[in-house]
Amino acid sequence: MSRRRVVVTGLGTTSPVGGDVPTTWQALISGTSGVRYLEGDWAEQPVRIAGTAAVEPTEVLDRVVARRLDRSAQLAMVAAIEAWADAGLSDGAVDPERLGVAIASGIGGVTTLLDQHDILKERGPRRLSPLAVPMLMANAPAANVGLLVGARAGVHTPVSACASGNEGIALALDQIRLGRADVMVAGGTEAAIHALPMAAFAQMMALSKTASENTDDPTAPSRVSRPWDTGRDGFVLGEGAGVLVLEELGHAQARGARIYAELLGAGITNDSHHIAQPDPEGRGGTRAIQRALDDSGLAPGDIAHINAHATSTPAGDVAESLMINTVFGKYVDELVVTSTKSMTGHLLGGAGALESIATVLAIHHRVAPPTINLDSVDPGVNLDVPATARELRSGDIAALNNSFGFGGANVAVAFGSLA
Protein backbone atom coordinates (compact mmCIF):
# COMPACT_ATOMS: atom_id res chain seq x y z
CA MET A 1 0.00 0.00 0.00
CA SER A 2 1.47 3.36 -1.05
CA ARG A 3 1.92 6.02 1.61
CA ARG A 4 -0.13 9.22 1.41
CA ARG A 5 2.01 12.12 0.20
CA VAL A 6 1.84 15.51 1.90
CA VAL A 7 2.45 18.89 0.26
CA VAL A 8 2.68 22.51 1.40
CA THR A 9 -0.06 24.68 -0.09
CA GLY A 10 -0.15 27.70 2.23
CA LEU A 11 2.32 29.77 4.24
CA GLY A 12 1.83 32.45 6.88
CA THR A 13 4.07 34.23 9.34
CA THR A 14 4.60 37.27 11.47
CA SER A 15 8.19 37.69 12.59
CA PRO A 16 10.82 40.14 13.81
CA VAL A 17 11.75 40.91 10.20
CA GLY A 18 8.29 41.13 8.61
CA GLY A 19 4.57 41.06 9.20
CA ASP A 20 3.86 38.48 6.52
CA VAL A 21 5.61 35.89 4.33
CA PRO A 22 6.70 38.15 1.43
CA THR A 23 8.28 40.81 3.66
CA THR A 24 9.87 38.20 5.93
CA TRP A 25 11.35 36.29 3.00
CA GLN A 26 12.72 39.42 1.38
CA ALA A 27 14.34 40.47 4.66
CA LEU A 28 15.92 37.04 5.13
CA ILE A 29 17.31 36.95 1.60
CA SER A 30 18.74 40.46 1.95
CA GLY A 31 20.31 39.71 5.35
CA THR A 32 18.20 42.16 7.37
CA SER A 33 18.16 41.83 11.15
CA GLY A 34 15.02 42.24 13.26
CA VAL A 35 16.87 42.45 16.57
CA ARG A 36 16.43 45.81 18.28
CA TYR A 37 16.54 47.61 21.62
CA LEU A 38 13.46 47.10 23.75
CA GLU A 39 11.32 50.15 24.40
CA GLY A 40 9.99 51.02 27.83
CA ASP A 41 11.25 50.33 31.34
CA TRP A 42 14.05 47.83 30.78
CA ALA A 43 16.87 49.79 32.45
CA GLU A 44 17.23 47.35 35.35
CA GLN A 45 17.14 44.23 33.17
CA PRO A 46 20.36 42.38 32.32
CA VAL A 47 19.27 42.06 28.66
CA ARG A 48 17.57 44.89 26.77
CA ILE A 49 17.51 43.59 23.20
CA ALA A 50 15.16 41.17 21.44
CA GLY A 51 13.58 40.32 18.12
CA THR A 52 10.17 41.90 18.64
CA ALA A 53 7.47 41.44 16.02
CA ALA A 54 7.93 43.84 13.10
CA VAL A 55 4.16 44.42 12.91
CA GLU A 56 1.95 44.49 15.99
CA PRO A 57 -0.75 41.79 15.78
CA THR A 58 -3.32 44.39 16.84
CA GLU A 59 -2.73 46.10 13.49
CA VAL A 60 -4.06 42.99 11.75
CA LEU A 61 -6.63 41.49 14.09
CA ASP A 62 -10.00 42.91 15.05
CA ARG A 63 -9.61 44.85 18.30
CA VAL A 64 -12.23 42.84 20.18
CA VAL A 65 -10.75 39.55 19.02
CA ALA A 66 -7.22 40.62 19.97
CA ARG A 67 -8.25 41.59 23.52
CA ARG A 68 -9.44 38.04 24.16
CA LEU A 69 -6.10 36.47 23.17
CA ASP A 70 -2.70 36.20 24.76
CA ARG A 71 0.01 37.64 22.53
CA SER A 72 1.17 34.15 21.56
CA ALA A 73 -2.32 33.37 20.25
CA GLN A 74 -2.54 36.75 18.51
CA LEU A 75 0.64 36.00 16.57
CA ALA A 76 -0.59 32.50 15.70
CA MET A 77 -3.88 33.89 14.42
CA VAL A 78 -2.14 36.45 12.21
CA ALA A 79 0.04 33.73 10.66
CA ALA A 80 -2.89 31.31 10.28
CA ILE A 81 -5.09 33.89 8.56
CA GLU A 82 -2.35 34.51 6.00
CA ALA A 83 -1.61 30.79 5.49
CA TRP A 84 -5.29 29.90 5.06
CA ALA A 85 -5.79 32.65 2.48
CA ASP A 86 -2.52 31.75 0.74
CA ALA A 87 -3.72 28.15 0.36
CA GLY A 88 -6.89 29.39 -1.36
CA LEU A 89 -9.10 27.42 1.00
CA SER A 90 -12.54 29.01 1.10
CA ASP A 91 -15.52 27.97 3.20
CA GLY A 92 -16.61 24.47 2.25
CA ALA A 93 -13.37 23.60 0.44
CA VAL A 94 -12.45 21.13 3.18
CA ASP A 95 -14.68 18.73 5.08
CA PRO A 96 -14.32 19.94 8.71
CA GLU A 97 -14.10 16.31 9.84
CA ARG A 98 -10.98 15.98 7.64
CA LEU A 99 -9.35 19.22 8.79
CA GLY A 100 -6.99 19.40 11.76
CA VAL A 101 -4.63 21.79 13.54
CA ALA A 102 -1.23 21.31 15.18
CA ILE A 103 0.03 24.65 16.51
CA ALA A 104 2.84 24.31 19.02
CA SER A 105 4.20 26.60 21.71
CA GLY A 106 7.15 26.12 24.01
CA ILE A 107 5.83 28.31 26.84
CA GLY A 108 2.25 29.28 25.96
CA GLY A 109 0.41 32.25 27.45
CA VAL A 110 3.17 33.38 29.76
CA THR A 111 2.52 37.12 29.34
CA THR A 112 -1.11 36.69 30.38
CA LEU A 113 -0.12 34.55 33.35
CA LEU A 114 2.44 37.05 34.62
CA ASP A 115 0.29 40.11 33.96
CA GLN A 116 -2.68 38.55 35.76
CA HIS A 117 -0.43 37.64 38.68
CA ASP A 118 0.57 41.31 38.95
CA ILE A 119 -3.10 42.30 39.00
CA LEU A 120 -3.80 39.73 41.71
CA LYS A 121 -1.04 41.15 43.93
CA GLU A 122 -1.78 44.81 43.30
CA ARG A 123 -5.59 44.94 42.97
CA GLY A 124 -6.95 41.69 44.39
CA PRO A 125 -8.62 38.52 43.04
CA ARG A 126 -11.86 40.20 41.98
CA ARG A 127 -10.00 42.24 39.36
CA LEU A 128 -8.69 39.23 37.47
CA SER A 129 -9.94 38.76 33.93
CA PRO A 130 -12.61 36.06 33.51
CA LEU A 131 -10.75 35.19 30.28
CA ALA A 132 -7.42 34.58 32.04
CA VAL A 133 -7.54 30.78 31.85
CA PRO A 134 -8.57 30.46 28.17
CA MET A 135 -5.91 33.05 27.37
CA LEU A 136 -3.00 31.55 29.29
CA MET A 137 -3.54 27.85 28.57
CA ALA A 138 -0.86 26.33 26.33
CA ASN A 139 -3.35 25.10 23.75
CA ALA A 140 -5.02 28.50 23.31
CA PRO A 141 -3.21 29.36 20.05
CA ALA A 142 -4.11 26.00 18.51
CA ALA A 143 -7.68 26.15 19.82
CA ASN A 144 -8.28 29.62 18.40
CA VAL A 145 -6.80 28.67 15.03
CA GLY A 146 -9.03 25.60 15.09
CA LEU A 147 -12.06 27.82 15.65
CA LEU A 148 -10.91 30.13 12.88
CA VAL A 149 -10.82 27.38 10.23
CA GLY A 150 -13.50 25.10 11.71
CA ALA A 151 -11.21 22.12 12.33
CA ARG A 152 -12.86 18.99 13.72
CA ALA A 153 -10.33 16.27 12.97
CA GLY A 154 -8.25 17.17 16.02
CA VAL A 155 -6.57 20.26 17.42
CA HIS A 156 -3.15 19.55 18.90
CA THR A 157 -0.50 21.44 20.87
CA PRO A 158 2.95 19.81 20.97
CA VAL A 159 5.17 21.31 23.67
CA SER A 160 8.86 20.43 23.40
CA ALA A 161 10.64 23.73 24.12
CA CYS A 162 12.53 25.03 21.10
CA ALA A 163 11.70 21.95 19.03
CA SER A 164 7.94 22.52 19.40
CA GLY A 165 7.25 24.18 16.03
CA ASN A 166 8.84 21.38 14.05
CA GLU A 167 7.15 18.78 16.22
CA GLY A 168 3.82 20.36 15.27
CA ILE A 169 4.73 19.93 11.61
CA ALA A 170 5.82 16.33 12.18
CA LEU A 171 2.59 15.55 14.03
CA ALA A 172 0.55 17.05 11.19
CA LEU A 173 2.46 14.92 8.69
CA ASP A 174 1.55 11.80 10.63
CA GLN A 175 -2.13 12.78 10.87
CA ILE A 176 -2.40 13.05 7.09
CA ARG A 177 -0.35 9.93 6.42
CA LEU A 178 -2.49 7.92 8.82
CA GLY A 179 -5.65 9.05 7.05
CA ARG A 180 -6.97 11.03 10.01
CA ALA A 181 -7.06 14.29 8.05
CA ASP A 182 -6.71 15.59 4.51
CA VAL A 183 -5.59 19.09 5.52
CA MET A 184 -3.62 20.21 8.58
CA VAL A 185 -2.86 23.76 9.69
CA ALA A 186 0.48 23.34 11.43
CA GLY A 187 3.28 25.38 12.97
CA GLY A 188 4.28 27.17 16.14
CA THR A 189 4.12 30.45 18.02
CA GLU A 190 5.82 32.20 20.92
CA ALA A 191 5.59 35.54 22.73
CA ALA A 192 7.84 35.50 25.79
CA ILE A 193 9.53 38.90 25.59
CA HIS A 194 8.65 39.76 29.18
CA ALA A 195 10.87 40.76 32.08
CA LEU A 196 10.63 37.46 33.97
CA PRO A 197 11.38 34.97 31.15
CA MET A 198 14.16 37.17 29.83
CA ALA A 199 15.74 37.59 33.26
CA ALA A 200 15.43 33.85 33.84
CA PHE A 201 17.15 33.01 30.54
CA ALA A 202 19.83 35.57 31.37
CA GLN A 203 20.40 34.02 34.81
CA MET A 204 21.16 30.65 33.21
CA MET A 205 23.65 32.40 30.87
CA ALA A 206 21.63 31.48 27.78
CA LEU A 207 21.06 35.01 26.43
CA SER A 208 23.69 37.27 24.91
CA LYS A 209 24.23 40.39 27.01
CA THR A 210 26.18 42.12 24.26
CA ALA A 211 24.70 45.53 23.33
CA SER A 212 22.68 45.64 26.56
CA GLU A 213 25.36 47.46 28.52
CA ASN A 214 25.45 50.54 26.30
CA THR A 215 22.54 51.74 24.18
CA ASP A 216 24.36 54.59 22.43
CA ASP A 217 24.72 52.65 19.16
CA PRO A 218 21.24 51.96 17.69
CA THR A 219 22.66 49.39 15.24
CA ALA A 220 24.44 47.30 17.87
CA PRO A 221 21.57 44.82 18.48
CA SER A 222 21.53 43.75 14.83
CA ARG A 223 25.07 42.39 15.21
CA VAL A 224 24.52 40.33 18.36
CA SER A 225 23.01 37.08 17.06
CA ARG A 226 26.04 35.43 15.46
CA PRO A 227 25.67 31.65 15.00
CA TRP A 228 28.96 29.77 14.49
CA ASP A 229 31.04 32.91 15.06
CA THR A 230 33.93 32.76 17.53
CA GLY A 231 32.44 35.80 19.30
CA ARG A 232 29.00 34.32 19.98
CA ASP A 233 27.92 34.41 23.61
CA GLY A 234 24.28 33.36 23.69
CA PHE A 235 21.03 33.62 21.79
CA VAL A 236 18.71 36.60 21.28
CA LEU A 237 15.08 36.05 22.23
CA GLY A 238 12.57 36.61 19.42
CA GLU A 239 8.81 36.38 19.05
CA GLY A 240 6.48 35.47 16.23
CA ALA A 241 4.65 32.61 14.57
CA GLY A 242 4.84 30.44 11.50
CA VAL A 243 1.97 28.43 10.03
CA LEU A 244 1.93 26.02 7.10
CA VAL A 245 -1.11 24.51 5.41
CA LEU A 246 -0.26 20.85 4.76
CA GLU A 247 -2.42 18.87 2.42
CA GLU A 248 -2.69 15.36 1.03
CA LEU A 249 -1.34 15.50 -2.51
CA GLY A 250 -4.45 14.19 -4.27
CA HIS A 251 -6.68 16.58 -2.32
CA ALA A 252 -4.48 19.52 -3.32
CA GLN A 253 -4.33 18.48 -6.97
CA ALA A 254 -8.09 17.96 -7.17
CA ARG A 255 -8.73 21.58 -6.26
CA GLY A 256 -5.89 22.95 -8.39
CA ALA A 257 -3.88 24.23 -5.44
CA ARG A 258 -0.50 25.93 -5.84
CA ILE A 259 2.13 23.64 -4.29
CA TYR A 260 5.29 25.10 -2.75
CA ALA A 261 7.04 21.86 -1.87
CA GLU A 262 6.48 18.36 -0.55
CA LEU A 263 6.86 17.50 3.13
CA LEU A 264 8.86 14.31 2.74
CA GLY A 265 9.47 13.14 6.28
CA ALA A 266 10.47 13.83 9.86
CA GLY A 267 12.69 12.43 12.58
CA ILE A 268 12.11 12.82 16.33
CA THR A 269 14.50 11.71 19.07
CA ASN A 270 15.65 12.70 22.55
CA ASP A 271 19.15 13.09 23.98
CA SER A 272 18.33 11.84 27.49
CA HIS A 273 21.49 13.70 28.48
CA HIS A 274 20.67 16.94 30.37
CA ILE A 275 17.62 19.13 30.96
CA ALA A 276 19.17 22.16 29.26
CA GLN A 277 22.56 21.28 27.75
CA PRO A 278 22.94 19.46 24.40
CA ASP A 279 24.78 16.18 24.18
CA PRO A 280 28.29 17.41 23.25
CA GLU A 281 28.63 14.51 20.82
CA GLY A 282 25.29 15.34 19.22
CA ARG A 283 24.09 11.75 19.19
CA GLY A 284 20.37 12.49 19.61
CA GLY A 285 20.35 15.19 16.96
CA THR A 286 22.32 12.95 14.61
CA ARG A 287 19.69 10.25 14.96
CA ALA A 288 16.88 12.75 14.32
CA ILE A 289 18.52 13.94 11.10
CA GLN A 290 19.15 10.37 9.97
CA ARG A 291 15.58 9.36 10.78
CA ALA A 292 14.26 12.31 8.76
CA LEU A 293 16.30 11.12 5.78
CA ASP A 294 15.16 7.51 6.25
CA ASP A 295 11.52 8.53 6.64
CA SER A 296 11.79 10.58 3.45
CA GLY A 297 13.56 7.92 1.42
CA LEU A 298 16.46 10.31 0.87
CA ALA A 299 20.19 9.78 0.69
CA PRO A 300 22.69 12.37 2.03
CA GLY A 301 23.53 13.46 -1.51
CA ASP A 302 19.90 14.44 -2.15
CA ILE A 303 20.04 17.31 0.37
CA ALA A 304 21.05 20.70 -1.03
CA HIS A 305 20.31 22.93 1.95
CA ILE A 306 19.92 22.87 5.71
CA ASN A 307 18.26 25.57 7.78
CA ALA A 308 20.08 24.81 11.02
CA HIS A 309 18.93 25.26 14.60
CA ALA A 310 22.19 27.17 15.36
CA THR A 311 21.10 29.61 18.06
CA SER A 312 24.43 31.42 18.66
CA THR A 313 25.32 29.50 21.84
CA PRO A 314 28.87 28.25 22.39
CA ALA A 315 28.01 24.57 22.91
CA GLY A 316 24.97 24.09 20.70
CA ASP A 317 26.40 25.44 17.45
CA VAL A 318 29.45 23.17 17.53
CA ALA A 319 27.34 20.14 18.47
CA GLU A 320 25.07 20.72 15.46
CA SER A 321 28.05 21.02 13.12
CA LEU A 322 29.22 17.65 14.43
CA MET A 323 25.77 16.14 13.80
CA ILE A 324 25.65 17.38 10.22
CA ASN A 325 29.17 16.19 9.46
CA THR A 326 28.43 12.77 10.98
CA VAL A 327 25.32 12.21 8.85
CA PHE A 328 26.50 13.72 5.58
CA GLY A 329 30.16 12.71 5.57
CA LYS A 330 31.69 13.27 2.14
CA TYR A 331 28.54 15.11 0.99
CA VAL A 332 28.79 17.84 3.63
CA ASP A 333 30.61 20.19 1.24
CA GLU A 334 27.61 20.07 -1.10
CA LEU A 335 25.31 21.55 1.55
CA VAL A 336 24.40 25.22 1.82
CA VAL A 337 23.84 25.69 5.55
CA THR A 338 21.99 28.68 7.01
CA SER A 339 20.97 30.00 10.41
CA THR A 340 18.18 32.51 9.93
CA LYS A 341 18.28 33.08 13.72
CA SER A 342 21.15 35.43 12.94
CA MET A 343 18.42 37.77 11.68
CA THR A 344 15.28 36.84 13.62
CA GLY A 345 16.67 35.82 16.97
CA HIS A 346 15.32 32.65 18.57
CA LEU A 347 11.53 32.27 18.53
CA LEU A 348 11.60 29.27 20.91
CA GLY A 349 8.41 27.28 20.15
CA GLY A 350 7.85 29.31 16.99
CA ALA A 351 11.39 28.89 15.65
CA GLY A 352 10.98 25.58 13.80
CA ALA A 353 7.81 26.74 12.07
CA LEU A 354 9.29 30.03 10.84
CA GLU A 355 12.46 28.26 9.75
CA SER A 356 10.49 25.53 7.99
CA ILE A 357 8.77 28.28 6.00
CA ALA A 358 12.22 29.63 5.09
CA THR A 359 13.27 26.11 4.09
CA VAL A 360 10.20 25.65 1.89
CA LEU A 361 10.79 29.01 0.20
CA ALA A 362 14.47 28.19 -0.33
CA ILE A 363 13.37 25.13 -2.31
CA HIS A 364 10.59 27.01 -4.08
CA HIS A 365 12.82 29.92 -5.15
CA ARG A 366 16.07 27.91 -5.40
CA VAL A 367 17.96 30.26 -3.12
CA ALA A 368 19.12 29.93 0.48
CA PRO A 369 19.23 32.88 2.90
CA PRO A 370 22.58 33.94 4.36
CA THR A 371 23.90 33.80 7.90
CA ILE A 372 24.79 37.33 8.95
CA ASN A 373 27.32 38.49 11.58
CA LEU A 374 29.67 35.61 10.82
CA ASP A 375 33.01 37.40 10.98
CA SER A 376 35.22 34.55 12.19
CA VAL A 377 33.98 30.96 11.91
CA ASP A 378 34.56 28.80 14.98
CA PRO A 379 37.26 26.25 14.12
CA GLY A 380 34.95 23.52 15.43
CA VAL A 381 32.40 24.33 12.69
CA ASN A 382 33.09 22.57 9.39
CA LEU A 383 30.23 23.76 7.21
CA ASP A 384 29.62 25.93 4.14
CA VAL A 385 27.83 28.90 5.70
CA PRO A 386 27.51 31.72 3.14
CA ALA A 387 27.37 35.35 4.25
CA THR A 388 25.10 36.28 1.33
CA ALA A 389 22.15 34.53 -0.28
CA ARG A 390 23.23 31.51 -2.31
CA GLU A 391 21.52 29.93 -5.32
CA LEU A 392 20.74 26.23 -4.94
CA ARG A 393 21.48 23.62 -7.55
CA SER A 394 18.99 22.79 -10.30
CA GLY A 395 16.94 19.62 -10.60
CA ASP A 396 15.00 17.84 -7.87
CA ILE A 397 16.33 18.95 -4.50
CA ALA A 398 15.52 18.47 -0.84
CA ALA A 399 16.28 20.45 2.31
CA LEU A 400 16.21 19.94 6.05
CA ASN A 401 15.19 22.09 8.98
CA ASN A 402 16.63 21.15 12.37
CA SER A 403 15.19 22.06 15.78
CA PHE A 404 16.54 21.13 19.19
CA GLY A 405 15.11 22.04 22.59
CA PHE A 406 15.53 21.92 26.36
CA GLY A 407 14.64 18.52 27.70
CA GLY A 408 16.79 16.95 24.97
CA ALA A 409 14.14 17.25 22.23
CA ASN A 410 15.37 16.85 18.64
CA VAL A 411 13.23 17.22 15.51
CA ALA A 412 14.34 17.33 11.88
CA VAL A 413 11.90 17.76 8.99
CA ALA A 414 12.62 17.25 5.30
CA PHE A 415 11.05 19.11 2.38
CA GLY A 416 11.61 18.56 -1.33
CA SER A 417 10.66 19.88 -4.72
CA LEU A 418 7.62 18.00 -6.00
CA ALA A 419 8.72 15.21 -8.34
Does position 410 have pLDDT exceeding 80, yes or no? yes
Mean pLDDT of 209-219: 78
| Res 418: pLDDT | 84
Same domain, 317 and 269: yes
Q: Is 238 part of a structural domain of the chain?
A: yes
pLDDT for residue 5: 98
- Quick one: pLDDT at residue 217? 85
Domain end among 254, 289, 313: 254
Does the pLDDT of residue 365 top 80, yes or no? yes
**Mean pLDDT for the stretch of residues 192-209:** 95
Judge if 309 and 214 occupy the same domain.
Answer: no
Residues 293 and 234 in one domain: no
The per-residue pLDDT for 214 is 65
Q: In this structure, which amino acid lies at residue 21? A: V
SS (H, E, C) the chain: CCCCCEEEEEEEEEECCECCHHHHHHHHHHCCCCCEECCCCCCCCCCCEEECCCCCHHHCCCHHHHHCCCHHHHHHHHHHHHHHHHCCCCCCCCCHHHEEEEEECCCCCHHHHHHHHHHHHHHCHHHCCCCHHHHHCCCHHHHHHHHHHCCCCCEECCCECECHHHHHHHHHHHHHHCCCCCEEEEEEEECCCCHHHHHHHHHCCCECCCCCCCCCCCCHHHHCCCCCECCCCCECEECEEEEEEEEEHHHHHHCCCCCCEEEEEEEEEECCCCCCCCCCCCHHHHHHHHHHHHHHCCCHHHEEEEECCCCCCHHHHHHHHHHHHHHHHHHHHHCEEECCHHHHCECHHHHHHHHHHHHHHHHHHCEECCCCCCCCECCCCCCCCCCCCEECCCCCCEEEEEEEECCCEEEEEEEECCC
Q: What is the mean pLDDT of residues 166-178?
A: 98
Check if 162 is active-site.
Answer: yes
The active-site residue, picked from 194, 251, 305, 346, is: 346
What CATH number is attached to the domain comprising 226? 3.40.47.10
Please say if 273 is a catalytic residue: no
Boundary residue ending a domain (213, 233, 254): 254
Q: Check residues 40 and 289 and name the one with the higher pLDDT.
A: 289
Dump pLDDT digits (tens) for 234-281.
999 999 999 999 999 999 999 999 999 999 999 999 999 999 999 999
Task: Clarify whether residues 56 and 178 are in a common domain.
Answer: yes
For residue 309, indicate whether it is catalytic: yes
pLDDT number for residue 269? 98
Please check whether residues 406 and 325 belong to one and the same domain.
yes
Catalytic-labelled residue, pool 156, 194, 305, 309: 309
Same domain? 139 vs 155:
yes
- The pLDDT score that the predictor gives to residue 47 is 94
pLDDT higher than 80, residue 211: no
What was the pLDDT predicted at 295? Answer: 98
Q: Are residues 219 and 315 in the same domain?
A: no
> For all residues of the chain together, what is the average pLDDT?
96
pLDDT, tens digit, 9 for 90 and up, residues 69-98: 999 999 999 999 999 999 999 777 899 999
In a domain, 310, yes or no: yes
270 & 387 share domain: yes
Q: Which pLDDT score is estimated for 197?
A: 96
Give the pLDDT of residue 311. Answer: 98
User: 371 falls in which pLDDT band (50, 70, 90)?
Assistant: very high
Same domain, 352 and 223: no
pLDDT of residue 213: 67
pLDDT at 1: 61
Q: Does 1 reside within a domain? A: no
Do 266 and 343 lie in one domain? The reply is yes
Asked if residue 112 belongs to a domain, the reply is yes
pLDDT band at residue 165, thresholds of 50, 70 and 90? very high
Q: 282 and 366: one domain?
A: yes
pLDDT, average across residues 32-45? 91
Q: Based on the domain organization, do 208 and 284 belong to the same domain?
A: no
What is the band of 102 on the pLDDT scale with cuts at 50, 70, 90? very high
What's the confidence (pLDDT) of residue 43?
81
Residue range of the domain that includes 59: 6-254
Q: Which of 254, 277, 295 is a domain's end point?
A: 254
**Would you say residue 10 lies in a domain?**
yes
The pLDDT value given to residue 181? 98
Catalytic residue among 162, 194, 251, 364: 162
- The count of structural domains within the chain is 2
